[in-house]
Chains A and B, each alone.
Chain A
Amino acid sequence: MPGRDDAGQGAPVTVTMAKAINMGLRAAMEADPKVLVMGEDVGKLGGVFRVTDGLQKDFGEDRVIDTPLAESGILGTAIGLALRGYRPVCEIQFDGFVFPGYDQIISQLAKMHFRSLGKLRVPVVVRIPFGGGIGAVEHHSESPESLFVHVAGLKVLACSNPVDAYWMIQQAISTDDPVIFFEPKRRYWEKAVLDVAAGPLTPLHAAQVLRSGDDVTLLCWGPMVKTCLQAAEVAAGEDRSLEVIDLRTLSPLDLPVIFQSVRRTGRAVVVHESPLTVGMGAEIAARITEECFYSLESPVLRVTGFDTPYPPSKIEEDYLPDLDRVLDAVDRALAW
């Protein structure tokens, strides 16, 4: 079979997240001839992060489409293709470049099913490499997830590791609703063992408890999952038991998993790279307050980027939540 490489089937393989998403895209394209990949440089180059590497060679230019350099054009034509029965997967090259296509996402993609009274479906997936920590110039390190979560009609996901990424991208593509799929770009090259034969471990819209703990619940997604797991490891050395939940699905949120944990620990810290104000943490804190009020031992705390534009890369580590800032919040929650 053309394009079937060593990692396509059979024995577990060690892959990077970029490769895992590539494999997921390949599997989805093999399973359904209506699946298309489109975006800037996704064809011959294989994408600036090589996530679509080799796909055009194996599936052809009609299915892996190098587009003109116009994000609204990518999104708008993807909607048209979806109306014709295709399942386009659009790559936005970097988070900060999605905004020229924002109108098509917000005003057209998100609302099409609703305004057609359910008659039209636009199963478009928008892949967005997001977040900072790679030393990039401006507009290449942003975390705009709450700008999409706020919009009815979209489903919003963020993968955090290769195994999840492989399955989540396929689950996203088979979703009949439009999906915004955030990929933590600074984790693209981190590896894990992927056993394709094992099947997906988790349903698409489910949070996952990655580490169990009793004292504080850390809620995170995308690039912050690794940070939080490291924080939990360090905290364990100080006799503090942190539970780490990878939310995975930001819209809809998997609230029961969050509530169950917080009712037990009584404390929650939400960690995200995007700015504080009206970020995901605000929504999560409000939900926890509404549903777990009598279980709380402290207010829900947030560790986030600041309410500033993303800073120059030489000081981005000061902007990004890190292990110490997470543990500082844990201390404050426990000392309340």
Chain B
Amino acid sequence: MSVTASFGGREGRPPLVQLLTPEGERVEHPDFAFDLDDEAIKGFYRDLVLTRRVDFEATALQRQGELGIWASLLGQEAAQIGSGRALSAQDYAFPTYREHGVAWCRGVDPLQLIGLFRGVDQGGWDPRESNFHLYTIVIGAQTLHATGYAMGIQRDGLVGTGDPRRDAATIVYFGDGATSQGDVNESFVFASVYNAPVVFFCQNNQWAISEPIERQSRIPLYQRALGFGFPGVRVDGNDVLACYAVTKAALQRAREGSGPMLVEAFTYRMGAHTTSDDPTRYRLSEELEHWKLKDPIERVKAYLSRNGIVDAGFYAGVEAEADELAARLRAGCLSMPDPDPLSIFDHVYVETTPQLRQQREDFAGYLASFEGAH
């Protein structure tokens, strides 16, 4: 595969890699092929539906006061499932706080995402088991971690060995707003000059809370890569097949030692920034209606149905599974215990300090003084 920086824009429009149209038709692209079968697409469909259900349930839980906040991924499911499923076990993913679909692909129990937004912890999963880092809230900071981690993979000699079970890469997720951050630009520089095996996966969902993409860039984001010295490509972020194919190619390239690549997944944040946000203050509903026609799940459903790959029973089965998952999340959320107040003092340091030990002891004594009191 040849990956160039421009992918030959057709008819003067920014080129968009698409393998499944919004109507559910399969199309081919000269540079990126989808190499899986219909069984895999059925699997994607299941992933997409279950991920969206997790999102709906979490939003509902927030509305009912059970979560402090929730960052919805509505509309971005294909970008996350497609890229997430392109990862090999040994690859390491660095998310923002919205990568619930990638978390799903990495085997992180959605209940652990819920825990973070409920406020019982700051990410209860073990990144070493899932190769899925903790959510990073500070915008763009994780791009440098992913680049450094990729530099570590290089130093471990796990780039370009030719063994697909060993060669590894990192992928880092960030949004259109993050591309204005210094850290993202610095990570581009570091990754480029060290030729680090990192895939920069930018979900351009058009909005950074209230600020449109025009407040972040005057050129298509994928074109930024060229200035840093590595390829960039824009993919239809609502096309799970294209997101899979492009990410897989980018990861493969990185693992082989050809360096970083920027993938701009062109998508849309169909919901609010978070449950605390009110998008009616800054964007028109017509825009949302327009993007609803490009829904990432509907097109897969259209493909599966039109081609007679599945029957009604398949959809019913996935729905039933989604219902079951939602019920489990709800029950798990409601029964989640609050952490012990004294856990405030845990894990501040690997080796705690005398002062912190003293503070903990004093606070424990203070708490104990209320025992038995009413």
Contacts and interface: CB of A to CB of B under 8 A. Distances in A.
A83 B133 contact: yes
Interface stretch (B11-19, B48-56, B183-191, B276-284): B183-191
B355 A253 contact: yes
Contact of B353 (A83, A176, A252): A252
Interface stretch (B30-38, B100-108, B152-160, B235-243): B152-160
A316 B356 CA distance: 37
A93 to B, nearest CB: 16
Most chain B beta-carbon neighbours within 10 Å: one of A72, A79, A82, A107: A72
B347 interface: yes
A58 interface: no
Contacts of A314: none
B346 to A, nearest CB: 7
Interface string B167-186: 00010000000000011001
B149 A113 contact: no
Given A68-B190, A85-B152, A252-B353, A115 B134 contact: yes
A36 B194 CA distance: 15
Contact of A80 (B123, B147, B347): B147
Q: Chain A contact residues (Cβ within 8 angstroms of B): what range?
A: 35 or more
A79 B138 contact: no
Interface string A80-110: 1111111000000000000010011001100
Contact of B128 (A36, A76, A113, A119): A119
Contacts of B152: 80-81, 83-86
A242 interface: no
Contact of B121 (A63, A82, A117, A152): A117
A36 B133 CA distance: 22
Most chain B beta-carbon neighbours within 10 Å: one of A81, A100, A155: A81
Given A76-B141, A76-B187, A80-B145, A153 B349 contact: yes
A126 interface: no
Interface in A106-137: 107-108, 113-121
A80 B121 contact: no
B148 A255 contact: no
Interface in A53-80: 62-63, 67-68, 70, 72-73, 75-80
Would you call the interface of chain B mostly helix, strand, loop, or mixed? Answer: helix
A116 B154 CA distance: 25
A152 B353 CA distance: 11
Contacts of B349: 113, 153, 155, 177
Contacts of A103: 138, 141, 183
Given A67-B190, A115-B134, A177-B351, A80 B144 contact: yes
A86 B145 CA distance: 13
Contact of A114 (B146, B170, B348, B351): B348
A153 B346 CA distance: 11
B148 A80 contact: yes
B144 A79 contact: yes
A78 B148 contact: yes
A153 B352 CA distance: 9
B229 interface: no
B126 interface: yes
B150 interface: yes
Contacts of A108: 136, 138, 141, 145
Given A73-B186, A79-B144, A153 B348 contact: yes
B149 A72 contact: no
Contact of B347 (A70, A75, A117): A117
B212 interface: no
Given A68-B193, A80-B151, A107-B141, A121 B350 contact: yes
A75 B156 CA distance: 20
Most chain A beta-carbon neighbours within 10 Å: one of B126, B136, B350: B350
Given A76-B187, A107-B141, A117-B347, A84 B122 contact: no
B354 interface: yes
A252 B354 contact: yes
A115 B155 CA distance: 27
Given A68-B186, A77-B148, A84 B350 contact: no
A152 B348 contact: yes
Contacts of B183: 72-73, 76, 103-104
Contacts of A79: 144-145, 148
Most chain B beta-carbon neighbours within 10 Å: one of A63, A83, A85, A153: A83
Contacts of B187: 73, 76-77
A115 B122 contact: yes
A175 B351 contact: yes
Nearest to A204: B351
B243 to A, nearest CB: 24
Given A86-B155, A103-B138, A108-B138, A114 B144 contact: no
A85 B149 CA distance: 9
Contacts of B127: 83, 116, 119-120
B348 A76 contact: no
Given A68-B189, A70-B186, A80-B151, A118 B144 contact: no
Contacts of A251: 353
A53 B353 CA distance: 34
Contacts of A82: 148
B126 A83 contact: no
Contacts of B149: 80-81, 83-84
B186 A76 contact: yes
B11 to A, nearest CB: 38
A116 B124 CA distance: 7
A195 to B, nearest CB: 28
Given A62-B155, A76-B147, A119-B127, 11 more contacts: A77-B145, A77-B148, A78-B148, A107-B141, A113-B350, A117-B122, A117-B347, A118-B346, A176-B350, A205-B353, A252-B353
Interface of A: 36, 62-63, 67-68, 70, 72-73, 75-86, 100, 103-104, 107-108, 113-121, 152-153, 155, 175-177, 205, 251-253, 255
6 contacts: A73-B190, A76-B187, A78-B148, A84-B152, A113-B349, A117-B124
Question: What 6 A-B pairs come out closest when comparing CB atoms?
Answer: A80-B148, A76-B144, A84-B152, A77-B148, A252-B353, A73-B186
Interface of B: 121-124, 126-128, 133-134, 136, 138, 141, 143-156, 170, 182-183, 186-187, 189-190, 193, 346-351, 353-356
